[in-house]
Amino acid sequence: MVEVKKNQEYEIKIESFGNSGEGISHIDGYTLFVSGALPGEKVRVVVTKTKKNYGYARLLSVITPSPDRVEPVCPVAKRCGGCELQHMSYEAQLGFKIGRVKECLERIGGVVVPLLESIGCEDEPWHYRNKAQFPIGKNKEGKRVIGFYAARSHDIIPCDECVIQQPIINEIKKVVEDNIDLTEDIRHLYIRTAAATGQTMVCLVVFKKTADVEDIISKIKEIKNVTSICINYNKKETNVILGESFEMVEGPLYIEDKIGDVLFRIAPESFYQVNSYITGKLYDKALEYASLGGDEVVWDLYCGIGTISLFLSKKAKEVIGVEIVEQAIKNAKENAKINGIDNAEFICGAAEDVIDAAMENTNIDLPDVVVVDPPRKGCDEKLITAIGKASPSRIVYVSCDPATLARDIDRLSEYGYSLKRGCVVDQFWQTRHVETVALLEK
Ligand code: SAH
């Protein structure tokens, strides 16, 4: 076996995709990961890091390009950690995601995958994100910058116009960028906008409020469609962006968006899907898989601001939503009220604890259908056991990580559930992230 060495250049053929859309090649059995290289391509690379059985290489040149290769639209696409797939045509991006879900389900979940459906972008796959968190700090030359963190780093990469953010987000960022030398007290710019209503919230995360911070706020006030401005105080030196206390400057401490015919109030701390254009299709698919007749009790676990719960409530007898973030539960209760929905109840707590306790409590109705939509780490093992005991006839699993989805499907198979249908819903155009809806039945 040849020894693959750091700083050595090689001409290699890319064989397949890695988990993040990077290219994989082998030199005499040794695995190399190459960001920005596509399967089928012959490329020249330089090895940047070596481990015992695998290493990483940087793409120097593409000798034979793949037909799926396109020129990235964004000039900082390679350096910024946001868009890992801009060098691929949109069809190829969707194909990569479908392949990744299938591979995880087969390899980790150990299941024979039924026909996998997919929903992707049908228009232009740009300017969709409704949320941005821009770090503000100094670059290596000591100059103050605002931008995005580079992949696996805290280097801030400035970006004139982010092509995946909605235009108003770039507009607000520019105003802050033009005044960035005024103060060192702002550490993050956090923006959320609603596609359906145009309402936009700007939140400045600061160490402290000074006259210079107020000066920047007065400039933000002049931007059209900014409906809420708030300050968030965060003095802690951790990776968590938002501190605990908010101060309202203007407007309410929420924005409102509409999906289908349901209106949602969203507080800054609450989770909300980032692609407002496709979220409705995701929830429609969850509703379709839930196949409700009107008599069912549904548990919507990891419910956020009650989006899926309220979507399903119209076709169910009763929905119980469970969510760990208190502010999100407050939003969920409000959202039920403003939409005139009275068959949805919301409980704040860790899904695994609430459901475990509910199993002992005869006042809580056992579910006919369970919906779960956990963060990337998937469901807690305790929750899987509780769902197994509750024994719903259907489980609709909304997942943002196919590896943990596959693991949880495998765990649920011990309770007699198997995968009946699956749909990859591409919410994250240009990025490696994958969303899947899966239907499991006894
Ligand atoms: N279904 C919602 C939210 C999905 S995101 C939507 O589509 O908008 C996942 C949610 O799970 C987040 O709101 C997060 O705060 C919540 N969460 C994380 N861990 C949790 C836990 N252990 N129990 C309950 N909710 C949890």
pLDDT band at 363 (very low <50, low <70, confident <90, very high): confident
pLDDT tens digits along 20-32: 999 999 999 999 9
State the Cα–Cα distance between residues 141 and 134, nearest whole angstrom. 19
pTM: 0.95
Annotated active-site residue 400? The verdict is yes
Angle between the 402-413 and 90-107 helix axes, to the nearest 10 degrees? 30
For residues 431-437, average pLDDT: 97
Q: pLDDT, tens digit, for every residue of 371-389?
A: 999 999 999 999 999 999 9
C-beta separation of 282 from 437 below 8 A: yes
How is 321-361 classified by DSSP, letter by letter? EEES-HHHHHHHHHHHHHTT--SEEEEES-HHHHHHHHTT-
Average pLDDT, integer, range 173-187? 94
- Look at residue 237 in the predicted model and tell me its pLDDT: 85
Q: Quick check: 283 and 292 in contact, CB under 8 A?
A: no
Pocket test for ligand 1, best of 271, 348, 399 (most atoms within 8 A of CB): 271
271 Cβ inside 6 Å of ligand 1:
yes
- Taking the CA atoms of residue 57, residue 61, residue 67 and residue 70 in that order, the dihedral angle to the nearest 10 degrees is 90
Cβ pair 220, 172 in contact under 8 A? yes
What is the whole-number distance in angstroms between the Cα of residue 329 and the centre of ligand 1? 10
Q: Ligand 1: which of 324, 346, 436 to mutate, most ligand atoms within 8 Å of CB?
A: 324
Q: Ligand 1 within 6 A of 324 CB?
A: yes
Kindly indicate the confidence band of residue 152, based on its pLDDT and cuts at 50, 70 and 90.
confident
Does 395 have pLDDT greater than 80?
yes
Residue 342, Cα to own-chain centre: how many angstroms?
30
User: Cα–Cα distance between 35 and 355 in angstroms, integer?
Assistant: 42
Q: Which residue has the tokens 């860790």?
A: 350
d(CA 329, CA 279): 20
- Tell me which amino acid residue 380 is: D
Atom of ligand 1 nearest to the CA of 271: 13
pLDDT over threshold 80, residue 81: yes
Catalytic pick among 74, 83, 203, 400: 400
| Range of lowest pLDDT (176-185, 280-289, 344-353) | 176-185
* Ligand 1 contacts CB of residue 34 (under 6 A): no
CB of 350 sitting under 6 A from ligand 1? yes
What is the Cα Rg of the chain in Å?
23
Paired tokens of 164: 């995946």
Distance 55 CA to ligand 1 centre (A): 35
Least reliable range by pLDDT among 10-19, 83-92, 349-358, 415-424 = 349-358
Provide the 3-class DSSP secondary structure of residue 151. coil
373 lines ligand 1 (CB under 6 A): yes
Cα–Cα separations (whole angstroms), residue 313 to 273, 307, 318, 327, 351: 19, 10, 6, 21, 19
From 100, 184, 171, select the one nearest 132 (Cα to Cα). 171
Asked if residue 361 has pLDDT above 80, the reply is: no
| pLDDT at site 98 | 97
Evaluate whether 347 touches 333 at the Cβ level (below 8 Å): no
Nearest CA to ligand 1 atom 3: 304
Lateral strand order in the sheet of 54-64: 9-13, 42-50, 54-64, 30-34, 23-27, 16-17
Q: Is 399 in the pocket of ligand 1 (CB under 6 A)?
A: no
Sheet holding 144-146, edge to edge: 144-146, 131-138, 186-193, 200-206, 226-233, 245-250
Residue 157 Cα, ligand 1 centroid: separation in angstroms? 30
pLDDT tens digits for 245-263? 999 999 999 999 999 999 9
* Residue at 226: amino acid letter: V
Q: Is the dihedral of CA 105, 106, 110, 112 positive or negative?
A: positive
Residue 168 pLDDT > 80, yes or no? Answer: yes
Task: Give yes or no for residue 308 CB within 6 A of ligand 1.
Answer: yes
* Helix (H/G/I), strand (E/B), else coil: 257: strand
Q: Of all protein residues, whose CA lies closest to atom 19 belonging to ligand 1?
A: 324
Residue 255, phi then psi, degrees to nearest 5: -120, 165
**Is the Cβ atom of 298 under 6 angstroms away from ligand 1?**
no
Question: What residues contact residue 124 under an 8 Å CB cut-off, 6+ apart?
Answer: none
Ligand 1 centre to CA of 4 (Å) is: 43
Which is the closest atom of ligand 1 to the Cα of 398? 1
The torsion angles phi and psi of 258, rounded to 5 degrees, stand at -125, 130
pLDDT tier, 311 (very low <50, low <70, confident <90, very high otherwise): very high
Is residue 348 lining ligand 1, measured as CB closer than 6 Å? no
Distance CA 346, CA 242 (A): 24
Between 150 and 363, the more confident residue is: 150
Q: Which atom of ligand 1 is nearest to the CA of 322?
A: 24
Q: Which of 275, 323, 354, 405 to mutate to test the pocket of ligand 1 (most atoms within 8 A of CB)?
A: 323
Smallest CA-to-CA distance from 432 within 167, 187, 86 is with 86
Query: Alpha-carbon distance 174 to 161, whole Å?
Result: 9
Ligand 1 center–CA 320 separation, angstroms: 14
Residue 324's pLDDT is what? Answer: 98
Q: Is the CB of 375 under 6 A from ligand 1?
A: yes
Q: Cβ(303) to ligand 1 under 6 A?
A: yes
Minimal-distance CA residue to ligand 1 atom 13? 304
Tokens for 343, please give them: 């068959």
Residue 306 CA, ligand 1 centroid: distance in Å: 10
Q: What is the mean pLDDT of residues 271-288?
A: 96
Among 14-18, 225-229, 358-362, the range scoring the smallest mean pLDDT is 358-362
Say what percent of the chain tops pLDDT 70. Answer: 100
